[in-house]
Structure 1
Amino acid sequence: MSEKLSRFLICYEQDFLDDVIKRINGQKDKFPGVIFVQNNKGQLRGVLTDSDIIKAISQCTDTHIPVSDHMNRNPIAYKESLPRSELLQEVRLEVNKRKSTSGKLVRYVPIIDEKQRILDIIDIYSLAEFNLDTNYTVCIAGLGFVGLTLAVKIASLGISVIGYDTNQELIDSLAEREVTVYEPRLKDMLDKVLDEKSLFLTHNSKDISLCNIYIISVGTPTKNDIPDLNYIKAALNVIGDNLSTNDLVMLRSTVPVGTTRNIASKVLTKKSGLRCGDEYYLAFTPERTVEGRAMDELSQLPQIVGGISKRCVEKSSQFWSNISNSVVPVSSVEAAEFVKLLNNSYRDLRFAFSNSFSLLADNYNLVAREVIEAANDGYPRDPIALPSPGVGGYCLSKDPYLYASTCPKEHTHSELASLGRTINKLSGLYPLSLANEYAERNNRSLETYSILIIGIAFKGEPQTMDLRGSSSIDLAYGLKKRGAKVYIYDHLVPSNKLDHLPFEQTSFDDSCNKCEIVMIMNNNPNNISDELLHLLNKKPTLLFDGWSQYDSIQVSKYKNICYSTMGFMHGREQLPTN
C-alpha cells in the first residue's frame, strides 16, 4: 500500500464489521471517518463511514456481519484523468445531484484507474477553503457559558458542531435540554439545533476525531491570583491527539499573553507531529460577550483575530466572517491575547476608581452615586462609572491578574490592574463595615442579628444566574464568620442553585420579617419593590441599597428604616471635622 493510502482503512467486502471496528480502535493515527471497501481484485466496491457504523451498531445486536451489508455501494469516485483543478466542482455537483448528504461536501474522494483500483485518496478540504458550503465540523472544547453559547450560535447557522466537555453530568443535562445559565433565547436555540442534529454533545474525546476546526473555551481560573492553565493544557492534549493536516485550532479562553505561541503551539506540534502555521493553523480569537446579551453580541461585536502565521489569520478570519458582522485581524497572537485582557482590566479599573471614591465618600457621609452623577451631568468628557458594592463575575475577578502576570516582577507597569482588584474587593466588603457600625450604634454585636442579602448573582443588569465571583457571597461569608445568621435571596436564581451555600433560605416575606439588616447587593430591578419597604418598616431595620436604586428621600418617610448606600448611612450624628 502506498504511503498516501496508509492512513486510510481499506478492507474487503467479505470482512466482518466487528473486525473492522477492532482495527479502528487499534489505529495509532486519527481515524479519518471513512473506510474504503474493495473486492479480491482490489477494485473499489463501496465506502463505509463512521455514520454507517454507528447506524449498524444501533440496529444490530450482533456485529459479526459482512461490511457489505452496510456499505454505500455507489461511492463518489473519479478517474485519474480528471484534473485536480476540476475535482472540487465535480464533487459539489455530484453531491447536490444525489442529495445524499444534505448538500454537505464529501471530504475524502478516491481516485481510481480504468480497472476501478484505488490509486489515491484526495482530501477535498485541502482544495476547498473554509466556507459555509464546505463540509467542515467544528469542535467546541468546554461547554461553560462561553462554549455553550458559541456552540449553539454556530450550530444555528447550519454548521455541524460537536460540543465536547469532560463533565459527563453537564453533557447529560444539556442533552436533556436543561440549561443552567440564564441567557435570553439560548434555551430555544439549543432545542432547535438539537432537533436539527447540527449540534452533537459528548464527553468522549474520541468523538471529536472527525473535526477540522477546534475552538478551545475552557476555564482559566486563578489560584492565589496566579493563572491556572491546566484546563487549557488538557484540551490542547486532546486536540493534539486528533489533529490532522489543514486543521484549524483557535483559543477563545482568556489566557496570559504568550500562551498561544509558547504553550499551545508546542503542545499541539508535539502531540500531532505537524508543523504549526504550515501543516495546521493556530490562532487566538478572544471572547468578549456579556452575560445576558451573548447570543446577539456573538454577531454584533467585532471578532479579534491573531494568528501564528498569515495563513492562520486568513483561515480564522474566513471562519469568523460567517459568525460576526466584523472581523478585526491584528498583527500577532500576542496582540489578540492583550485585547481581551485590556478590555476587562480597564473595565475593572474604571469601576475601582468609582468604588475608591465611595470609600472616600464614607468619611463625609455622602451618597457616592449622587456626587458622581453630578460630576457627569452635562460634562462631555470621560463619564465616571457608577459605584457598586464590589465587582464580581468570572472575568473581571481574574482577568486583571492575568494581565498583571504578563509583567516581569522587577517592573511595576501592570500593578495598577492588581490594585484595582484590591479596591473592588474592599468595596464588596464595605456593607460589612456599615452593618458593624449599625450594630454598635444599637449597643449590640453582629452575632445577635439576622441579615438578609438580596441579589446573589454577581450582577443584576443584564440579568444572570451566575454566582461566580459574586461579591454577595463573599459578604455573606464575612457576616457568617462574625456570627450573624445570614439569609439569601435572588429573584432569578433558583433555590436549588443556592442549596450548596451554608446560608438560610425561606420565603421572601418571611426573610424580611425575620431580618433586622437587609442588604441589596446587585441591581436586578426585579429584586426590589415598594412592597419591600413596607415589609421592612414593621420593625427597626438597616437597609443597605448598594446601587442606590431607591430614592433616599422617599425611603426617609419610612420611620423604621435606616437607609444606607455606598458612602452614606442615615442617622450618623455628625460629619468628620478633618
Structure 2
Amino acid sequence: MELLEKISQKQAFVGVIGLGYVGLPLVLRFGEVGFRILGFDLDPRKVEMLNQGESYIKHIPGTGIAKLRQSRSGQAQFEATADMRRLGEPDILLICVPTPLDANREPDLTYVVNTTKLIAAAMRPGQLISLESTTYPGTTDEVMLPLLPDKYRVGEDYYLVYSPEREDPGNTQFEVRTIPKVVGGITPDCLKHGVALYNQIIDRVVPVSSTRAAELSKILENTYRAVNIALVNELKMLCLRMGIDIFEVIEASKTKPFGFQAFYPGPGLGGHCIPIDPFYLTWKAREYDFSTRFIELAGDINSNMPYFVVTRLMEILNENGKALKNSNILILGLAYKKDVDDNRESPAMKIIRILKEKGALVEYNDPHIPRCSGMRHYPGIVLNSVPLSDTMLQKSDCVLLVTDHSAYDYGWIASKAKLIVDTRNAFKGIPGNHIYRA
C-alpha cells in the first residue's frame, strides 16, 4: 500500500520524536482520529509514565493517554519508547525536539542533528519525515537533507517536510485541531504527502512554496510578538517615570477597532519560542551580510527587563528604609507564563540569580512548580516552592509578583504583605500604598 493511501485510510503508523509540550498533544490528536502511534523520548521517566497512562504536563490530562494505552485487538494504540533503533518502524516521523540558543545566542541544532542521524541509521523507503521544531530558514534542506542516506531519493523514496509547531500551553481557546498548520516540502511530492498527513488531524492546512518559507513563517510570528512586547516594555519604563499607568493606556488604545493589537509589558520574556526564535533569524541574516538591527534592539530590551525589575525593587526598598542585601524577597510565580508548569527561559530565573548575586535572601512560591532547577542556564539555583501563608507573607520584606497565576488570592496577599512589587498589573484595583509596579 502506498503511503498516501495509508494516510488517507489512517493505516499509516505515526512516530513522534520528543514527547513534551509539542509532541504529546500531537500523540493525542493522531490517536483521537484513529492512527496508531509510537512515541520516542530519551527520558526514561517520561517513557515509563506514558506507558502507565500518566501525564507529566499539568495542562495535558492523563485520561487521553490512558485511553490510547488500552489494548485494541491485542495491541495498544500508543506506545512510548527510548529505543531509537525503532525509528524505522513508523511510516511517519514527526520531529519535536528542542532548538535552544547557546551561550552566545547562536542556534544550537544539536538535538535536530542527532535525531536526523538516528533516523538515517534506521531509515527505510516509504517514510515521511516532518520537522516541527522552530529553526532558521534553510535548516531542513541545508542541515537535515544532507544527513539522510544518499541511496534514497527525496520526493520519491521518502518525503521531507517542515511544518512548524504552533502550541500555546495553557491557552484553552485553541487546540491542535483548530490551529491552522503551515507546511512546506523539499519537493512538490513531499508537500503533497505532508498536506495529506496534516489534513487528517487539522481543520486547515496552509501549504507554502518551500521549507524555507515555512521556517521563516514561524520565526516571523514570534518575532512580531517579541518586537511588540519590547515596545510596551520600553513604554512601561517611560510611563513609570512620567507617572502614567501603561495598562490604562493600553486598555484605552484597545478601543480602536482597527490598526491596533494589544501587547502587555512584563518582567521579561520566557518560554521556548519568543525569547529564542528572533535570534535564529539574526544569526542566519549574518550569512547574507545583513544586520537585523530592529530585532536585535527588541531582544536587548526584553533581555534586560529582569535587571530593570531588580533595580526598581532596590529603589522601592530604599524608599521604605531597607537595603536589598539580606532582605527577604518572596517571588510569586516561577513559570514563564500564567497557569503553566514550565519555567524554561522564565524571567523569574534571571531575577532570582540577580537578587542572589546582590545578597538578597530569595524564596519562591508557584502552585504549578513545586521544585525549581535552574537547568543549564542557572545550574546553581535549586529551590523548593514554599507554602504561601500569613507567616510567609508577613516575614517577607518584599513580595515580588513575576507570574500572575489564577490560583493566587491577590486581595489576601495584599492584606498580609508588607511591600509588593507587581510586574503584571495583577493587583489592579486593590488599594494600598504598599503596592508598587515594576
1:319 aligns with 2:194: no
**Cα deviation, residue 443, structure 1:** 4.3
Identify if the C-alpha distance between structure 1 residues 388 and 201 changes in structure 2 by more than 3 Å, giving closer, same or farther. Answer: same
TM-score norm. by structure 2 comes to 0.92
1:213 aligns with 2:92: yes
1:490 aligns with 2:355: no
Is the partner of 1:226 in helix, strand or coil? coil
Letter in 1 for 2:194: S
Identify if the C-alpha distance between structure 1 residues 499 and 225 changes in structure 2 by more than 3 Å, giving closer, same or farther. Answer: closer
Contact 1:161 1:198 in 2 (8 A): yes
Letter in 2 for 1:253: S
1:400 aligns with 2:278: yes
Match of 2:29 among 129, 153, 156: 153
Structure-to-structure mapping, 1:452-467, within 5 angstroms: 452-460=330-338, 463-467=339-343
The residue number in structure 2 matching 1:427 is 305
- Distance in 2, matches of 1:443 and 1:183, equals 42
**Cα deviation, residue 441, structure 1:** 2.4
Match of 1:528 among 392, 409, 412: 409
Contact 1:130 1:315 in 2 (8 A): no
Percent sequence identity is 25
The residue number in structure 1 matching 2:77 is 198
Is the partner of 2:322 in helix, strand or coil? coil
Letter in 2 for 1:187: G
Contact 2:14 2:91 in 1 (8 A): yes
**Cα deviation, residue 466, structure 1:** 0.5
CA-to-aligned-CA distance 1:90-138 (integer Å, 9 cap, x gap): xxxxxxxxxxxxxxxxxxxxxxxxxxxxxxxxxx236x62434253211
- Distance in 2, matches of 1:244 and 1:448, equals 62
Is the partner of 1:526 in helix, strand or coil? coil
Is the partner of 2:195 in helix, strand or coil? helix
- Distance in 2, matches of 1:448 and 1:195, equals 55
Identify if the C-alpha distance between structure 1 residues 436 and 529 changes in structure 2 by more than 3 Å, giving closer, same or farther. Answer: closer
- Distance in 2, matches of 1:176 and 1:304, equals 33
**Cα deviation, residue 179, structure 1:** 2.3
**Cα deviation, residue 269, structure 1:** 2.8
Structure-to-structure mapping, 1:360-371, within 5 angstroms: 360-371=238-249
- Distance in 2, matches of 1:162 and 1:266, equals 26
Structure-to-structure mapping, 1:45-444, within 5 angstroms: 124-125=1-2, 129-184=5-60, 186-196=61-71, 197-223=76-102, 224-270=104-150, 273-293=151-171, 296-378=174-256, 380-408=258-286, 411-444=289-322
- Distance in 2, matches of 1:478 and 1:188, equals 41
**Cα deviation, residue 411, structure 1:** 4.1
Identify if the C-alpha distance between structure 1 residues 450 and 548 changes in structure 2 by more than 3 Å, giving closer, same or farther. Answer: same
Match of 1:548 among 413, 425, 434: 425
**Cα deviation, residue 363, structure 1:** 2.2
Letter in 2 for 1:255: T
Identify if the C-alpha distance between structure 1 residues 513 and 233 changes in structure 2 by more than 3 Å, giving closer, same or farther. Answer: same
**Cα deviation, residue 341, structure 1:** 0.6
Is the partner of 1:325 in helix, strand or coil? coil
Which of 1 and 2 has higher RCO (CA within 8 Å, sep 6+)? 2
Is the partner of 1:305 in helix, strand or coil? strand
Structure 1, 422-431 or 510-519: larger mean CA deviation:
422-431
CA-to-aligned-CA distance 1:1-37 (integer Å, 9 cap, x gap): xxxxxxxxxxxxxxxxxxxxxxxxxxxxxxxxxxxxx
Letter in 1 for 2:81: T
- Distance in 2, matches of 1:352 and 1:276, equals 41
Is the partner of 1:173 in helix, strand or coil? helix
- Distance in 2, matches of 1:506 and 1:239, equals 44
Letter in 1 for 2:413: L
**Cα deviation, residue 475, structure 1:** 0.8
Contact 1:391 1:471 in 2 (8 A): yes
Structure-to-structure mapping, 1:21-32, within 5 angstroms: none
Is the partner of 2:148 in helix, strand or coil? helix
**Cα deviation, residue 481, structure 1:** 1.0
Is the partner of 1:269 in helix, strand or coil? coil
- Distance in 2, matches of 1:293 and 1:199, equals 25
Letter in 2 for 1:550: F
**Cα deviation, residue 518, structure 1:** 0.6
**Cα deviation, residue 450, structure 1:** 0.2
Identify if the C-alpha distance between structure 1 residues 259 and 157 changes in structure 2 by more than 3 Å, giving closer, same or farther. Answer: same
Letter in 2 for 1:314: K
**Cα deviation, residue 369, structure 1:** 1.3
The residue number in structure 2 matching 1:44 is none
CA-to-aligned-CA distance 1:318-375 (integer Å, 9 cap, x gap): 0100010001110111000111111111111111110011122232233221222233
Identify if the C-alpha distance between structure 1 residues 229 and 551 changes in structure 2 by more than 3 Å, giving closer, same or farther. Answer: closer
CA RMSD of aligned residues (A): 2.1
Is the partner of 1:360 in helix, strand or coil? helix
Match of 1:513 among 394, 407, 418: 394
- Distance in 2, matches of 1:260 and 1:294, equals 31
Contact 1:149 1:295 in 2 (8 A): no
Letter in 1 for 2:179: L
Letter in 2 for 1:565: R
Identify if the C-alpha distance between structure 1 residues 295 and 308 changes in structure 2 by more than 3 Å, giving closer, same or farther. Answer: farther
Unaligned runs of 5+ in 1: 1-123, 567-578
- Distance in 1, matches of 2:165 and 2:280, equals 15
TM-score norm. by structure 1 comes to 0.70
Is the partner of 2:415 in helix, strand or coil? helix
The number of aligned residues is: 427
**Cα deviation, residue 282, structure 1:** 0.5
Contact 1:240 1:267 in 2 (8 A): yes
Contact 2:371 2:384 in 1 (8 A): no
Identify if the C-alpha distance between structure 1 residues 374 and 516 changes in structure 2 by more than 3 Å, giving closer, same or farther. Answer: same
- Distance in 2, matches of 1:420 and 1:527, equals 31
Greater Cα radius of gyration, structure 1 or 2: 1
Contact 1:162 1:208 in 2 (8 A): no
Contact 2:399 2:420 in 1 (8 A): yes
Is the partner of 1:311 in helix, strand or coil? helix
Is the partner of 2:252 in helix, strand or coil? helix
**Cα deviation, residue 549, structure 1:** 2.2
Letter in 1 for 2:154: C
- Distance in 2, matches of 1:513 and 1:170, equals 39
- Distance in 2, matches of 1:425 and 1:235, equals 30
